[in-house]
Structure 1
Amino acid sequence: MQAAERAAAPNTLAAYQADLESCTHSLALAGQSLRTAGTEDLRGWLADLSAQGQSRRTVARRLSCIRQFYLFLLREGLRADNPAEHLDSPRAEQSLPRFLSESEVLALLDACEEPEGASAAKTRRALVGRAALELLYASGLRISELLALPRQALAGDQRMLSVRGKGGRERLVPLSDSARLAAQALVAADAGLGSPYLFPGRDPQRAMTRQAFDRILHDIGRKAGLEPERLSPHVLRHSFATHLLAHGADLRALQMLLGHADIATTQIYTHVQTERLQRAVAEHHPLSTSQTGNSEG
C-alpha cells in the first residue's frame, strides 16, 4: 500500500520495514505477533525502545508506523480493532536544525577549486563537488533528489528545475546562474560517459551513491576547515532555508521550495525570524537597553 498507493520513497519503505521488524521481535519475545497483539503488548514494545535508549523522536516515528499498520489491517478486514490507536506518543525533543553561516558556505564553494595542473580525476571531482554544493544550497534539494536528477534536467538555458520529491510530488525550484553554470560544466566534462544522470556513479548507467557523495563532501569540508560532524547534505538544506528566512523570505514560499507537504514542518525554521525580531527590538525600541545606552551617550 505504501509503495503502490502512496508512492513512498525507497528510504521510507526501508524505515517502515525496520519499524515493523522491531515491533515483531519484541512481541515474539512476549509470545505475541503483530496479528494478535493487544494494546498492553504494544506498550511493552514501546517500553523496550525507551530502555534501549532510543530517542523520543525515533519512538514516536515507530509508533506512527505501527498505528498506520493496524489501520491498514482494520480497513482490510484482517483485524476488528486498532490496538495502537490510544497509545500516547512521546513528545518529541525540540531541536533546532543545524546550519552553516553564509561565510562557511562560501568557504565550501571556494574549497571546490583545484589548482591548475591537477589530475583529470581531481579536476572532475572538483566539478562534481561544485555542481552538487551549488544546487543543494541554491535550491534546498534533498540529497536523494539531487542524485536522482537526470542529465537533461539542466539542458538549455532553464531558470527553473523540476524536482520529484517525497511521495512522488513534483515541484519547481529556481536555479541561480552560478548553480546552472556549475552543473553545465559537469555535463560538458561527462559528455563521453553516456550517463542518463547528472551525477553518474562509478557505473555511468547508475546514479552516484549517497556514500560516494559523502566522501566528496567530507574532503571539501576538510579543505574548507569545517569539522566533519557539522557537515552533511541536510545541513546544506537547512542552511538554504535558514538564510532565505534571514533575508526576509516568506514561510509559505519556503514551504513550496522545500517540498514540505505540511507547513508545520517548515515552521521549525522560524527560530531565525524570532532571533531577528528580538534583535530588531533590542536595537530600535526606545525602551530597550541598547537604545537607552545610546540616548544617554
Structure 2
Amino acid sequence: MIRKLPSGRWQVDLRTDGRGSKRIRKSFDSKSEAKRFETFVLAKRAEGREWNPSKADNRTLKQLIKLWFNAKGVHLKDGERRKRCLDAMAEFMGNPIARTVTPASFLAYRAHKIQKGASKKTLNNHLGYLNAVYNQLNRLNEIEFDNPIRNVEMIRLDERELSWLTVEQIRHLLKTIEDFSQNPHVHLLTRICLATGARWGEAENLQLRHVQEGKLTFVNTKSGRSRSVPVSKELFGEIRKHLKTHDCFSFSLSAFRRALEKSEIKLPLGQAAHVLRHTFASHFMMNGGDLLVLQRVLGHSNIQMTMRYAHLAESHLEQAVRFQPSV
C-alpha cells in the first residue's frame, strides 16, 4: 500500500508474504519513487529474496512495557497500576523476548491467576492491557511485528445480578448507620449516592467548590468527564454546611461496609456501596424517568450500560401484560 503522509512524503507500507510476515515501511519524496520501490520489493519477493533484512527485534517484554508506559501509560489515570500489572505478567512469563510471546504463555499466566482466585473480569482486563502494549507500539511504528496474542479470546462473563434496595431497606440502612456508625461522613455520603447515583469515590471527592447553585459536580470520574447533578434544597444545604465544618470528606467506605453488615441486608457477592448507585438508577426508572436522562446523570459513555435498567420502567412492565400471548 502507498499512502501520502501528513508531511507530504509518500510511504510504502507492505508485508512481504501477507499477514504475520515481515513488514516493510519506507518513505519517499514522490509517489513515483514509492511506486518503483514497491515494484522492486514485490519483484524480490517473487525471486524468494527479502528486501534489506533487518536485525531481529530482541527487546524483552519489560522493555516494551516501559516504552508503552512512556508513550501512553504515563497519561492514563491508572497508568502506574497497569504498568505494575504488566510487569508482573512479564515476570511470570520469564520476561521473554517480546516478539516470541505466545498465546500459550499468556494462557498459562491466566490459569495461574484463576487458581489464585482472580476474577474473570480482572483477567480480561489483564489481557486488554497486554494487547494495548503491542497494538499501541505497532501504531507508533515502534515495533514491526504483529501482536502475538491478538487471537486470545476474552473469558465470557455471566451477566452480574443487578441488586437494589427497596424504600424499606433504604430507611433501615440509614437508621443503622445513624445508630451504630461513629464516622461523621458515612450517613451523608450514603444519602448523596442515593440521591445522585454517584459512585462512592466520586461522592468522597466532593469539595465545597463542587457544591454550587443547587448542584453537585463530580470530578475525577471513571470516564474522565465531570458531570453535575441537581439535588434537593435540603440536601444541598446540608452538604454545604458539612463541608464548611469538615473541609472535606474522609475515606469512609469501610465504615459503610460495617454498617451494611450490621444491617443484615443481603447483597450479591462483591457488591457493597455500588448498590446505592443501582438503587438510584432502579428507582429513577420505576418512577418514570427517561433512559437518556439517566445515562447523563450516571455518566455512562455507552447507552448499553444504562439499558440494564430499562426493564424496570413502568411502561416496560405494562407492555409485558398488554402484549402477552392470549390464552
TM over 0.5: yes
Instruction: Kindly indicate whether residue 282 of structure 2 is the aligned counterpart of residue 242 of structure 1.
Output: yes
Q: Which of 154, 160, 167 is matched with 2:215 structurally?
A: 160
More helix by share: 1
Give the alignment partner of residue 147 of structure 1, picking from 204, 218, 238.
204
**Structure 1 stretches of 4+ moved >4 Å:** 1-5, 33-36, 50-53, 222-225, 227-231, 284-289
Indicate yes or no: 2:320 matched with 1:281: yes
1:171 aligns to what?
227
For normalisation by structure 2, the TM-score amounts to 0.65
Higher RCO structure (Cα 8 Å, ≥6 apart): 1
State the distance in 1 between where 2:126 and 2:227 align.
28
Instruction: Tell me what 2:256 maps to.
Output: 217
Bigger Rg, which one:
2
* Partner in structure 2 of residue 233 of structure 1: 273
Structure 1 residues 70, 43: closer, same or farther in 2, change over 3 A? same
Q: Where does residue 263 of structure 1 map in the other structure?
A: 303
User: What is the rounded CA distance, in whole Å, between the counterparts of 1:25 and 1:287 in structure 2?
Assistant: 59
- In structure 2, distance between residues paired with 1:143 and 1:185: 20
Structure 2 CA distance for aligned equivalents of residues 53 and 286 of structure 1: 43
Q: Matches of 2:135 and 2:224 in 1, distance apart?
A: 23
- Residues 1-297 of structure 1 correspond to what in structure 2 (within 5 A)? 1-2=71-72, 4-5=74-75, 8-9=76-77, 12-13=78-79, 15-28=81-94, 32-34=96-98, 36-52=100-116, 54-80=118-144, 81-113=146-178, 122=182, 125-126=183-184, 128-155=185-212, 158-164=213-219, 165-190=221-246, 195=247, 197=248, 199=249, 208-209=250-251, 213-221=252-260, 224-226=263-265, 232-273=272-313, 277=316, 281-282=320-321
Distance 1:25 1:276, change over 3 A: farther
Cα contact 1:171–1:259 (8 A) shared by 2: yes
Paired AA for residue 107 in structure 1: H
Q: Report percent identity of matched pairs.
A: 22
Q: CA deviation at 1:137?
A: 0.9
Equivalent AA in structure 1 for residue 214 of structure 2: R
Q: Decide whether aligned partners of structure 1 residues 131 and 168 sit closer, same or farther in structure 2, where only a CA change above 3 A counts.
A: same
> Structure 1: 5+ residue runs without aligned partners?
116-120, 200-207, 290-297
2:259 match: secondary structure: helix
More strand by share: 2
Q: CA distance change for structure 1 residues 285 and 166 in 2, over 3 Å: closer, same or farther?
A: closer
C-alpha contact 2:216 2:228 (8 A) present in aligned 1: yes
Question: Which amino acid is 1:60 matched to?
Answer: N
Structure 2 CA distance for partners of 1:230 and 1:4, relative to 1, 3 Å: closer
- The change in CA–CA distance for 1:233 and 1:35 in structure 2 (over 3 A counts) is farther
Aligned-residue RMSD, C-alpha: 3.3
Deviation for aligned residue 1:244: 1.1
List gaps (5 residues or longer) in structure 2. Answer: 1-70
Distance in 2, Cα, partners of 1:230 & 1:37: 33
Give the letter for the 2:235 counterpart.
Answer: A
Q: Deviations over 1:18-64 (max 9, x none)?
A: 53134213311xx6254642344334333444454543322222111
Q: Deviations over 1:73-111 (max 9, x none)?
A: 213333222112222122112112332222211222334
Question: Residues of 1 paired with 2:133 and 2:81: CA distance?
Answer: 13
Q: CA deviation at 1:161?
A: 1.8
Q: Secondary structure at the match of 2:210?
A: helix
Deviation sequence 1:113-156 (CA, Å, 0-9, x none): 469xxxxx95xx34x2232111111111112211221223225x
CA 1:217–1:35 in structure 2 vs 1: closer, same or farther (change >3 Å)?
Answer: same
Partner SS state of residue 87, structure 1: coil
DSSP 3-state at the match of 1:173: strand
TM-score using structure 1 length: 0.71
